[in-house]
Amino acid sequence: MGQTKDGSTSSPQERRRVWDKERLKTEAKEWGQSLVIALILTLVIRTYVIQAFKIPSGSMRPTLMEGDKLFVNKFIYRFQPPKRGDIIVFKYPVDRKKDFIKRLTAFEGETVEIRDGKIYVDGSVLDDPETFGRFYYYNHEPYGGPDEKIAVPKGSYYVLGDNSANSTDSRFWGFIPKKYLLGKAIFRWWPPRRMGKL
Protein backbone atom coordinates (compact mmCIF):
# COMPACT_ATOMS: atom_id res chain seq x y z
CA MET A 1 0.00 0.00 0.00
CA GLY A 2 1.25 3.49 -0.79
CA GLN A 3 0.86 6.64 1.24
CA THR A 4 -0.98 9.81 0.21
CA LYS A 5 0.33 13.30 0.97
CA ASP A 6 -1.41 13.35 4.36
CA GLY A 7 0.20 10.04 5.33
CA SER A 8 -2.79 7.80 4.65
CA THR A 9 -2.41 4.73 2.50
CA SER A 10 -3.85 4.36 -1.01
CA SER A 11 -4.63 1.30 -3.07
CA PRO A 12 -3.13 0.60 -6.52
CA GLN A 13 -6.58 1.31 -7.98
CA GLU A 14 -6.69 4.75 -6.37
CA ARG A 15 -3.16 5.55 -7.55
CA ARG A 16 -4.18 4.45 -11.05
CA ARG A 17 -7.22 6.73 -10.98
CA VAL A 18 -5.06 9.69 -9.90
CA TRP A 19 -2.51 8.90 -12.60
CA ASP A 20 -5.24 8.62 -15.26
CA LYS A 21 -6.74 11.92 -14.15
CA GLU A 22 -3.37 13.69 -14.38
CA ARG A 23 -2.70 12.14 -17.78
CA LEU A 24 -6.07 13.30 -19.10
CA LYS A 25 -5.42 16.83 -17.85
CA THR A 26 -2.02 16.87 -19.55
CA GLU A 27 -3.44 15.55 -22.83
CA ALA A 28 -6.32 18.04 -22.72
CA LYS A 29 -3.85 20.87 -22.21
CA GLU A 30 -1.70 19.68 -25.14
CA TRP A 31 -4.76 19.32 -27.39
CA GLY A 32 -5.94 22.79 -26.39
CA GLN A 33 -2.58 24.31 -27.23
CA SER A 34 -2.49 22.49 -30.58
CA LEU A 35 -6.00 23.69 -31.47
CA VAL A 36 -5.13 27.30 -30.60
CA ILE A 37 -1.98 27.14 -32.75
CA ALA A 38 -3.94 25.56 -35.61
CA LEU A 39 -6.61 28.27 -35.36
CA ILE A 40 -4.01 31.04 -35.40
CA LEU A 41 -2.26 29.51 -38.41
CA THR A 42 -5.58 29.15 -40.23
CA LEU A 43 -6.44 32.80 -39.61
CA VAL A 44 -2.99 33.96 -40.73
CA ILE A 45 -3.12 31.85 -43.91
CA ARG A 46 -6.68 32.97 -44.72
CA THR A 47 -5.83 36.63 -44.10
CA TYR A 48 -2.47 36.85 -45.82
CA VAL A 49 -1.79 33.81 -48.00
CA ILE A 50 -4.59 31.71 -49.55
CA GLN A 51 -8.36 31.99 -49.23
CA ALA A 52 -11.11 29.78 -50.60
CA PHE A 53 -13.75 31.63 -52.62
CA LYS A 54 -17.10 30.45 -54.00
CA ILE A 55 -18.56 31.95 -57.16
CA PRO A 56 -22.02 33.31 -56.29
CA SER A 57 -23.28 34.47 -59.70
CA GLY A 58 -22.93 34.05 -63.46
CA SER A 59 -21.06 37.32 -64.08
CA MET A 60 -17.86 35.49 -65.09
CA ARG A 61 -19.45 32.82 -67.31
CA PRO A 62 -18.18 30.76 -69.03
CA THR A 63 -14.78 31.17 -67.38
CA LEU A 64 -16.27 30.67 -63.91
CA MET A 65 -19.65 29.11 -63.20
CA GLU A 66 -22.00 29.52 -60.28
CA GLY A 67 -20.86 27.27 -57.45
CA ASP A 68 -17.25 27.00 -58.64
CA LYS A 69 -14.80 27.02 -55.74
CA LEU A 70 -11.43 28.70 -56.09
CA PHE A 71 -8.24 29.40 -54.26
CA VAL A 72 -7.30 33.07 -54.21
CA ASN A 73 -3.64 34.02 -53.78
CA LYS A 74 -3.61 36.94 -51.34
CA PHE A 75 0.13 37.61 -51.24
CA ILE A 76 1.14 37.53 -54.92
CA TYR A 77 0.58 41.26 -55.43
CA ARG A 78 3.00 42.03 -52.62
CA PHE A 79 5.78 40.75 -54.88
CA GLN A 80 4.56 41.62 -58.37
CA PRO A 81 2.07 44.11 -59.83
CA PRO A 82 -1.30 42.97 -61.18
CA LYS A 83 -1.49 42.24 -64.89
CA ARG A 84 -4.19 43.08 -67.39
CA GLY A 85 -6.45 40.07 -67.75
CA ASP A 86 -5.91 38.78 -64.20
CA ILE A 87 -9.04 37.46 -62.51
CA ILE A 88 -9.04 39.42 -59.27
CA VAL A 89 -10.99 39.40 -56.02
CA PHE A 90 -11.65 42.74 -54.35
CA LYS A 91 -13.88 44.53 -51.89
CA TYR A 92 -17.02 45.74 -53.65
CA PRO A 93 -16.73 49.56 -53.64
CA VAL A 94 -20.46 50.03 -53.00
CA ASP A 95 -20.48 47.64 -50.02
CA ARG A 96 -17.02 46.74 -48.67
CA LYS A 97 -18.45 43.85 -46.65
CA LYS A 98 -18.88 41.98 -49.94
CA ASP A 99 -16.13 40.47 -52.10
CA PHE A 100 -16.44 40.59 -55.90
CA ILE A 101 -14.53 38.80 -58.66
CA LYS A 102 -13.92 40.26 -62.13
CA ARG A 103 -11.24 40.56 -64.81
CA LEU A 104 -8.74 43.40 -64.50
CA THR A 105 -9.11 45.52 -67.62
CA ALA A 106 -7.37 48.89 -67.23
CA PHE A 107 -5.02 50.74 -64.90
CA GLU A 108 -4.75 54.27 -63.60
CA GLY A 109 -4.11 56.85 -66.31
CA GLU A 110 -5.52 54.66 -69.09
CA THR A 111 -8.62 55.34 -71.17
CA VAL A 112 -11.23 52.62 -71.73
CA GLU A 113 -13.76 52.47 -74.56
CA ILE A 114 -16.31 49.78 -75.41
CA ARG A 115 -17.00 49.77 -79.13
CA ASP A 116 -18.64 47.15 -81.37
CA GLY A 117 -18.40 44.54 -78.63
CA LYS A 118 -14.67 45.04 -78.09
CA ILE A 119 -12.58 46.73 -75.41
CA TYR A 120 -10.17 49.47 -76.38
CA VAL A 121 -7.53 50.76 -73.98
CA ASP A 122 -5.77 53.95 -75.04
CA GLY A 123 -7.14 53.32 -78.53
CA SER A 124 -5.77 49.77 -78.90
CA VAL A 125 -8.14 46.80 -79.01
CA LEU A 126 -7.73 44.04 -76.40
CA ASP A 127 -7.96 40.94 -78.56
CA ASP A 128 -6.02 38.29 -76.62
CA PRO A 129 -7.93 35.07 -77.47
CA GLU A 130 -7.38 33.71 -73.95
CA THR A 131 -8.98 36.69 -72.20
CA PHE A 132 -10.73 39.71 -73.70
CA GLY A 133 -10.78 38.41 -77.27
CA ARG A 134 -13.15 35.59 -76.27
CA PHE A 135 -16.10 37.77 -75.29
CA TYR A 136 -18.54 40.36 -76.59
CA TYR A 137 -18.79 43.45 -74.38
CA TYR A 138 -21.89 45.61 -74.09
CA ASN A 139 -22.04 49.33 -73.51
CA HIS A 140 -23.58 50.57 -70.30
CA GLU A 141 -23.68 53.96 -68.66
CA PRO A 142 -22.44 55.75 -66.64
CA TYR A 143 -18.92 54.27 -67.05
CA GLY A 144 -19.05 52.54 -70.41
CA GLY A 145 -21.72 54.06 -72.59
CA PRO A 146 -21.63 54.26 -76.42
CA ASP A 147 -18.96 56.60 -77.82
CA GLU A 148 -17.70 57.22 -74.32
CA LYS A 149 -14.03 57.15 -73.29
CA ILE A 150 -13.56 56.51 -69.61
CA ALA A 151 -10.39 57.76 -67.91
CA VAL A 152 -9.27 55.56 -65.02
CA PRO A 153 -8.32 57.82 -62.09
CA LYS A 154 -5.10 57.62 -60.11
CA GLY A 155 -4.85 54.74 -57.65
CA SER A 156 -7.69 52.78 -59.30
CA TYR A 157 -8.55 49.87 -61.59
CA TYR A 158 -11.30 49.28 -64.15
CA VAL A 159 -12.76 45.75 -64.16
CA LEU A 160 -15.25 43.83 -66.29
CA GLY A 161 -17.06 40.53 -66.01
CA ASP A 162 -16.58 37.98 -68.81
CA ASN A 163 -20.37 37.62 -69.07
CA SER A 164 -20.86 41.24 -70.11
CA ALA A 165 -24.62 40.93 -70.61
CA ASN A 166 -25.05 39.80 -66.99
CA SER A 167 -22.29 41.48 -65.00
CA THR A 168 -22.46 44.39 -62.60
CA ASP A 169 -18.97 45.78 -63.00
CA SER A 170 -17.05 49.03 -63.52
CA ARG A 171 -19.51 50.07 -66.24
CA PHE A 172 -22.13 50.44 -63.50
CA TRP A 173 -20.34 51.57 -60.35
CA GLY A 174 -16.99 52.89 -61.52
CA PHE A 175 -13.50 52.13 -60.33
CA ILE A 176 -11.80 49.99 -57.69
CA PRO A 177 -9.35 51.72 -55.36
CA LYS A 178 -6.08 49.80 -55.28
CA LYS A 179 -6.43 49.33 -51.52
CA TYR A 180 -9.56 47.21 -52.11
CA LEU A 181 -7.64 44.58 -54.09
CA LEU A 182 -7.58 41.28 -52.14
CA GLY A 183 -5.85 38.83 -54.46
CA LYS A 184 -5.69 36.82 -57.66
CA ALA A 185 -7.82 33.77 -58.44
CA ILE A 186 -5.30 31.05 -59.26
CA PHE A 187 -6.90 27.61 -59.06
CA ARG A 188 -10.38 26.07 -59.34
CA TRP A 189 -10.66 23.05 -57.02
CA TRP A 190 -14.39 22.38 -57.43
CA PRO A 191 -16.07 20.80 -59.30
CA PRO A 192 -13.50 18.03 -59.90
CA ARG A 193 -14.28 17.73 -63.62
CA ARG A 194 -13.19 21.34 -64.17
CA MET A 195 -10.38 21.44 -61.65
CA GLY A 196 -7.34 23.35 -62.81
CA LYS A 197 -5.27 26.49 -62.97
CA LEU A 198 -6.98 29.75 -63.95
- Report CA dihedral (77, 186, 86, 170) to the nearest 10 degrees: -100
Catalytic residue among 8, 34, 54, 59: 59
Question: Which has the closest alpha carbon to 119: 140, 99, 141, 138?
Answer: 138
Active site residue 102: yes
DSSP character at residue 153? P
CA distance 10 to 2: 5
Catalytic residue among 74, 102, 156, 170: 102
Active site residue 11: no
Q: At residue 105, what are phi and psi to the nearest 5 degrees?
A: -110, -45
CA angle 116, 118, 121 (to 5 degrees): 120
Looking at the DSSP bridge assignments, the partners of residue 151 are 111
Q: At residue 116, what are phi and psi to the nearest 5 degrees?
A: 55, 40
**Strand order across the 118-121 sheet:** 124-125, 118-121, 111-115, 149-151
DSSP secondary structure, 27-56, as one string: HHHHHHHHHHHHHHHHHHHHHHTEEEEE--
Residues sharing a CB contact under 8 Å with residue 40, sequence separation 6 or more, in sequence order: none
Residues noted as catalytic: 59, 102
